Structure 1
């Protein structure tokens, strides 16, 4: 409290005494006891009111203690069960969580992880993937401002993600790995990696690359065999020694029939081999009869051209050829789609040919586009000519109906450079992206599609889309999200299929270790996405002839169902609506593969390095006796006392109001009782 405030309080006391004395003090030699009481009550009332007006502030200091956290992160993947370490893992967790000394010193928090981190002590060892680095990334967000030594109970075998050996760079806590699994090196043959294209083309050959690894001291001979429908399609004898312990085999297989073909690559086991699960891998190839050929026509150089080619050809079913307008005239029938990049009057004959053939097309309009020529030759829309340019950003239209569009944060993408002005369509069209300037929507399409006379057309009103692909990579460390969007757009424009109210998105086959997600879109009769419908999927196992039905869950702009729990087999399915009786069917395969069963030993080297780098210590599952005592005696993990200083204004003190009300009430009651009122 300041000296100025203290002076005000003293002055308030004097004023309260003067006012109370003026009202109740008499000139008699001695005041009555009743008047004295009235004077005191009035003084209390006036002084309390003046204190509320001054509202002095008082500082309050409170002390609290904060115990360090003890984080227990448990590997919940199926590799723990495969290595017969499930019981050991649960016993260790129980010993740590029930230890009274640890509970006194630490706040014990338990987590399980597979592909994601979960705050849970329910251990099932059922996760199909392991991402230890991702677990540390999430823990670093939770415990970045506290003391939180971490016990990592795992075999150290990670199936995907960044190398967790360097997790200490983001997770600034001591890590104590408890190593589960066999540390003895056994003789083992393994197919380390199998590289094969997802698609192949009829009457062609597709390449397969197999990376084979051997762990052992002696020389061995075995055979590498590839079979399909119990028939051997490739075989090769392979020799390994202690020093020459890896082989790369490249082969080509014929694609003789359309459809999904499943193959099994296998290294024949040798004597005394403990783990034979990692000796084989299944793979599949979808043989298609047609490759979409796309002509990218331009008579100028621009980075957009390379971005279009890279993005479109990320799907091997599509190929892009760079042509000028005159070259395209002679090869027009070879292409399913023509992309016209910033056309001018040199495109005149090409437009005539496209109209004559009623060919699908994709126009890109930019600052070098001849708008006078385009408005003259095009009857479906016109573009306002202002001879000025503008940078337009994109806003996704959530009600776009022709195909599924994923929200890939278009609003954060760099603006596209475009002629300033608006477009005017003379036919019905659908907007995918809308123009915005400084966050204000212009209600004008930036990317639109339409169908007319049995053909499809898309128009992009802007250049520099190469920046979008680059920005997508910065956001997700991959071009995949942008390329998927572009692939869907190209697939739609290149196709002549009629619009459907029920659209499905799924793969023809899935590996057993991947998430199996089937997505659906359902539209009402006006082709507006309908969130009121109930969709169900009936899945039939063709091999066992069993059928299961699952509901599809509404997820923003589509319906989804997760079928990841289905076992490997061949499946047919039907997605149907409940109210309007519309349905669509399809087929897919789930290949047998469990990545968690590919490991024979614990990854001791990385776990030791992780402990050393983070200033922790590693322990083997059979020798964890010293862990608890080390944690209890480590001077880094101490309880912290914190002081919290609060400033409390007097006006928040409710008791003062009670005192004022009580003094006034007592004064009034006594005056009334003594007949003074």
Structure 2
């Protein structure tokens, strides 16, 4: 309290005492003890009220001791079990949890990781992928502002994500790897990587690329084979040595039959090879007899065209061609979808031909669009003609029901440039993305689709989608989310298939180390998406005839089921709606490929470089007591005492009000008891 406040309190005490003496000590009608009691109670009441008016403030200091954090990341992938380190990791986790000295000095936090990252629940060592880079980046985000040395318990073998040795350079805290597995380099011959197309077209050839790696001494010779069933479709002799230990084999295979074609690539094992699992890899190619051809008509050069090309051709079933309006008129009939990029008056013949051929279209509007021409040449939409532009952000319409679409983070994407004014769509349509100007819904669609008389069209009013694709990569470290969104739009517009009440989306084949998901949409009699439906999928294994039923769960504007629990094999499925005579059937194949079995030992060299670059030190799992001693003896990791000062005004002290009430109540009760009221 300040000196001024103390002075006011003294004055309040003097005034309260003077009033009490005047009322009960000077010319009072009360005698004896009553006047002393009433005087004291009145002093307490008046003084408390005056102090409450003055409202002095009290300062209090609280002290806390904050320990340094110690995140411990445990590799939960199946490669740990393959290297026979699962029991040792379990024992280590228990030992670290029970170490009193470690827990006294550090605030210990346990996490597990495989393809994902999260707080430790239990260790099963069944994760089908390992993403060490993601685990380290998430840990850095959690503890970047704190002193937190990181203990990384892993074999160092990563199957997903960016290179953790280089991506972790920016990590603030030191990393201490505890290396799981054998460091001895055994003689090993393996297929390091196999690349092939997912789709091929009938009567064409598709490329296959295999990278064969040899670890050992001396020279060896082996046979590289590709088999389809019992038939060998490719054979080559491979010679490798200690110095020349890598060979890339490139070949093409004919796509002679429609449907799913399965192959096995194999490098024959050499004598005394310990790990032969990594000598073979299965792959599949779906052969189709027709591609989806997309024609982009544009009079300008724009980075959006590059982003569109990358997104569209990320699916090998689609081809992408760009032509000027004068070149496009004569070839429109060769394409299933026409993309009209920022049309101007040179597009007049293109629009005329599209009307004759009833071609599906996707129209992009932007700063270079001639809206006067566009308003006059078609009747599906119109926009007021202005010479001003504005930036518009996008908000997804969660009730969009034409096809299943997921929110990929549109709210966080950069705004697109569009011409100022409202876009009015004059035909029955559904809005997929809504325009948002400065945080307010403009009431104007940014992306909308329509279907009229069997012809499908879409209008996308905004330029700059290349920024969206780049932002999607920054957020997820992959273009997959954005390309999948664009792909669904292209797939819908390029097809003239009649819409049904139950739409099911699935792949022809999956690898069992990737996510296996199937999605569906269900519409009522008016073709409005029904979020209340109960949808199940019945899956039958073609070999064992075992039947399993899974429910599909509602997610945004579609239903989805996760099938990662299924083993490798061929399956048939039926998706059905409860209490409705509506169902869809199909089939898919799950290919067996366990990437975690490809490693014969721990990646010691990489983990040691990781430790050195971060300022930490690496240890083998059996040396964990030495790691504990290092952490305990390091003077850089000390607890910090923090003080927090709180300023509390007296008006917040509820007991003062209780004192005032008690004093007044006591005075009233005494007066009543003595018959003075």
Query: What TM-score do you get using the length of structure 1 for normalisation?
Result: 0.94
**Cα distance, 1:7 vs. partner?**
0.4
Residue 45 of structure 2 is aligned to residue 45 of structure 1: yes
- Alpha-carbon distance in structure 1 between the residues aligned to 2:59 and 2:251: 80
Aligned to 2:566: 566
Alignment check: 8 A CA contact 1:137 1:170 kept: no
Name which of structure 1's ranges 58-67 and 408-417 shifts more when overlaid on structure 2.
408-417
CA 222–433 in structure 1, closer or farther in 2 if over 3 Å, else same: same
Aligned to 1:178: 178
CA 656–356 in structure 1, closer or farther in 2 if over 3 Å, else same: closer
**Cα distance, 1:415 vs. partner?**
4.1
Alignment check: 8 A CA contact 2:169 2:613 kept: no
Residue 13 of structure 2 is aligned to residue 26 of structure 1: no
- Alpha-carbon distance in structure 1 between the residues aligned to 2:232 and 2:297: 46
Residue 139 of structure 2 is aligned to residue 139 of structure 1: yes
Number of residue-to-residue matches in the alignment = 676
CA 434–10 in structure 1, closer or farther in 2 if over 3 Å, else same: same
Query: In structure 2, the residue corresponding to 1:515 is in which secondary structure?
Result: coil
Residue 362 of structure 2 is aligned to residue 359 of structure 1: no
- Alpha-carbon distance in structure 2 between the residues aligned to 1:294 and 1:238: 42
**Cα distance, 1:480 vs. partner?**
3.1
Aligned to 1:332: 332
Aligned to 1:557: 557
> Superposition pairs for residues 500-539 of structure 1, below 5 Å?
500-539=500-539
**Cα distance, 1:464 vs. partner?**
4.3
Aligned to 1:619: 619
CA 10–365 in structure 1, closer or farther in 2 if over 3 Å, else same: closer
Aligned to 2:661: 661
Alignment check: 8 A CA contact 1:506 1:517 kept: yes
Query: In structure 2, the residue corresponding to 1:622 is in which secondary structure?
Result: helix
Alignment check: 8 A CA contact 2:405 2:558 kept: no
**Cα distance, 1:419 vs. partner?**
4.3
Aligned to 2:410: 410
Aligned to 1:253: 253
- Alpha-carbon distance in structure 2 between the residues aligned to 1:412 and 1:108: 34
Aligned to 1:541: 541
Alignment check: 8 A CA contact 2:133 2:168 kept: no
Name which of structure 1's ranges 130-139 and 366-375 shifts more when overlaid on structure 2.
366-375
Q: CA-atom RMSD, angstroms?
A: 2.5
- Alpha-carbon distance in structure 2 between the residues aligned to 1:21 and 1:637: 64
Alignment check: 8 A CA contact 2:406 2:556 kept: no
Query: In structure 2, the residue corresponding to 1:507 is in which secondary structure?
Result: coil
Name which of structure 1's ranges 231-240 and 324-333 shifts more when overlaid on structure 2.
324-333
Name which of structure 1's ranges 45-54 and 653-662 shifts more when overlaid on structure 2.
653-662
Name which of structure 1's ranges 474-483 and 594-603 shifts more when overlaid on structure 2.
474-483
- Alpha-carbon distance in structure 2 between the residues aligned to 1:10 and 1:152: 64
CA 363–237 in structure 1, closer or farther in 2 if over 3 Å, else same: same
| Cα deviation digits, residues 634-670 of structure 1 (max 9, x gap) | 3233333332222222223333333333333333343
Alignment check: 8 A CA contact 2:366 2:461 kept: yes
Aligned to 2:308: 308
> Superposition pairs for residues 379-528 of structure 1, below 5 Å?
379-386=379-386, 389-528=389-528
Alignment check: 8 A CA contact 2:517 2:564 kept: yes
Alignment check: 8 A CA contact 1:193 1:211 kept: yes
Residue 208 of structure 2 is aligned to residue 208 of structure 1: yes
Name which of structure 1's ranges 474-483 and 565-574 shifts more when overlaid on structure 2.
474-483
**Cα distance, 1:540 vs. partner?**
1.2
Name which of structure 1's ranges 227-236 and 167-176 shifts more when overlaid on structure 2.
167-176
Query: In structure 1, the residue corresponding to 2:586 is in which secondary structure?
Result: strand
Name which of structure 1's ranges 164-173 and 641-650 shifts more when overlaid on structure 2.
164-173
CA 430–346 in structure 1, closer or farther in 2 if over 3 Å, else same: same
> Superposition pairs for residues 117-136 of structure 1, below 5 Å?
117-136=117-136
- Alpha-carbon distance in structure 1 between the residues aligned to 2:565 and 2:370: 56
Residue 618 of structure 2 is aligned to residue 596 of structure 1: no
| Cα deviation digits, residues 348-390 of structure 1 (max 9, x gap) | 4433333222222333344544445444442444444456555
Alignment check: 8 A CA contact 1:399 1:528 kept: no
- Alpha-carbon distance in structure 2 between the residues aligned to 1:168 and 1:332: 50
- Alpha-carbon distance in structure 2 between the residues aligned to 1:652 and 1:348: 76
Alignment check: 8 A CA contact 2:224 2:265 kept: yes
- Alpha-carbon distance in structure 2 between the residues aligned to 1:386 and 1:623: 73
CA 613–649 in structure 1, closer or farther in 2 if over 3 Å, else same: same
| Cα deviation digits, residues 260-314 of structure 1 (max 9, x gap) | 1111101111111111111111111111101122222234444444443333223
Alignment check: 8 A CA contact 1:154 1:177 kept: yes
Aligned to 1:68: 68
| Cα deviation digits, residues 478-537 of structure 1 (max 9, x gap) | 433333222222221221111122222222111121011111122222222211011111
Name which of structure 1's ranges 345-354 and 393-402 shifts more when overlaid on structure 2.
345-354
**Cα distance, 1:461 vs. partner?**
3.4
Name which of structure 1's ranges 585-594 and 317-326 shifts more when overlaid on structure 2.
317-326
| Cα deviation digits, residues 162-219 of structure 1 (max 9, x gap) | 2222465454333332211011110001111111111111001111010000000121
**Cα distance, 1:565 vs. partner?**
1.7
- Alpha-carbon distance in structure 1 between the residues aligned to 2:301 and 2:63: 70
- Alpha-carbon distance in structure 2 between the residues aligned to 1:83 and 1:438: 55
Alignment check: 8 A CA contact 2:398 2:556 kept: no
| Cα deviation digits, residues 408-460 of structure 1 (max 9, x gap) | 33344444444444455553222222333333333333332222332222233
CA 445–168 in structure 1, closer or farther in 2 if over 3 Å, else same: closer
- Alpha-carbon distance in structure 2 between the residues aligned to 1:117 and 1:217: 39
Alignment check: 8 A CA contact 1:167 1:610 kept: no
CA 367–71 in structure 1, closer or farther in 2 if over 3 Å, else same: closer
Query: In structure 1, the residue corresponding to 2:189 is in which secondary structure?
Result: strand
- What are the ranges of 5 or more consecutive residues in structure 2 without an aligned counterpart? none
- Alpha-carbon distance in structure 1 between the residues aligned to 2:464 and 2:61: 60
- Alpha-carbon distance in structure 2 between the residues aligned to 1:216 and 1:536: 52
Aligned to 2:606: 606
- Alpha-carbon distance in structure 2 between the residues aligned to 1:643 and 1:341: 62
- Alpha-carbon distance in structure 1 between the residues aligned to 2:253 and 2:276: 25
Aligned to 1:5: 5
- What are the ranges of 5 or more consecutive residues in structure 1 without an aligned counterpart? none
Query: What TM-score do you get using the length of structure 2 for normalisation?
Result: 0.94
Aligned to 2:648: 648
> Superposition pairs for residues 77-96 of structure 1, below 5 Å?
77-96=77-96
Aligned to 1:217: 217
